[in-house]
A = this chain, B = another copy of it.
């Protein structure tokens, strides 16, 4: 096991200033803690619970902000794609294409992402058993692209609730691909009122620590300068000025785990 990878950034690229503010802080944390970072930002939200929600500032403008962050801050950037037709455009700007959990069975999207040659992060569907992620990964790998990551973000558990099954980490790791834990989306309470997803931020640290101890290769966090004003996922994004201490603690725990296992 090597180091922890962090995928972090805002749920949605709301504007250039906020994206740049976050990227600057992530680079600072990355250097201070010796952690690898990928900057994430959605350029469009395609699956909001409710049709009236904010969905973005425009695809090209958001993608150009991502490309600028990549160049200015020296961090790889990631965005998510929702239909195969989006892949070609997005792939021009980013290093990692992400397949949203609801879309983890869409063969054409997985194949298009694979064919782009970019790394592909597949989120496990809330309706999918962890071992079945091997089939999703195989659709990407079938294009000759083996730069694949698998991310757990919770499984359906009754209505309006998700549960993180920690057996999913070793099960998905048996594919041979890196396995990440999405520490913010997994705390969502889907569409729990008025079509807006709520969340339980208070469980973030216990579950993130547990995921590191269970052996994940990386973690995924949505961060925002002021989550209470975020256009989306306000209930679960981490406040940017608290994120350094989150990373610091998880890196310490990861080093502990390594020292225990190297004894």
Contact = CB atoms under 8 A, between A and B. Distances in A.
Identical copies in the complex: 4
A129 B85 contact: no
A46 B164 contact: no
Given A126-B127, A138-B50, A159-B158, A167 B203 contact: yes
Interface residues of A, number: 69
Interface string A125-154: 111111010110011001000000000000
Contacts of A108: 46, 82-83
A240 interface: no
Nearest to A49: B135
A34 B217 CA distance: 31
A106 interface: yes
A15 interface: no
Given A127-B127, A249-B260, A132 B166 contact: no
Interface string A178-198: 000000000000110001000
